[in-house]
Amino acid sequence: MFITGILAMFGKTNKSMIRFIKPILKFFVKSNAVKSLVVGLLEDYAASTETDIDDEIVKLVKEKLWPSV
């Protein structure tokens, strides 16, 4: 219902939706909750593969997101 209202408000155009949603996403991406979510998803994916390179990528991402930890 909410999405339909937004689509109706912007006339179902992609450019209008992107202009509306982009600042909101930029705000949330900087939060630790979203960073933790992304790292958790990466860890789950890395655990599902047999290679070690993805584990190293997850480790690198964690180090870059939280350098002091």
In DSSP notation, 1-69 reads -HHHHHHHHTTT-HHHHHHHHHHHHHHHHTSHHHHHHHHHHHHHHHHTSS-SHHHHHHHHHHHHH-TT-
Domain boundaries, the chain: 32-65
Q: What is the pLDDT of residue 36?
A: 92
What's the rounded Cα separation, in Å, for the pair 52 and 21?
36
Which stretches of the chain drop beneath a pLDDT of 70? 1-13, 69
| Percent residues over pLDDT 90 in the chain | 41
* pLDDT score recorded for residue 60: 95
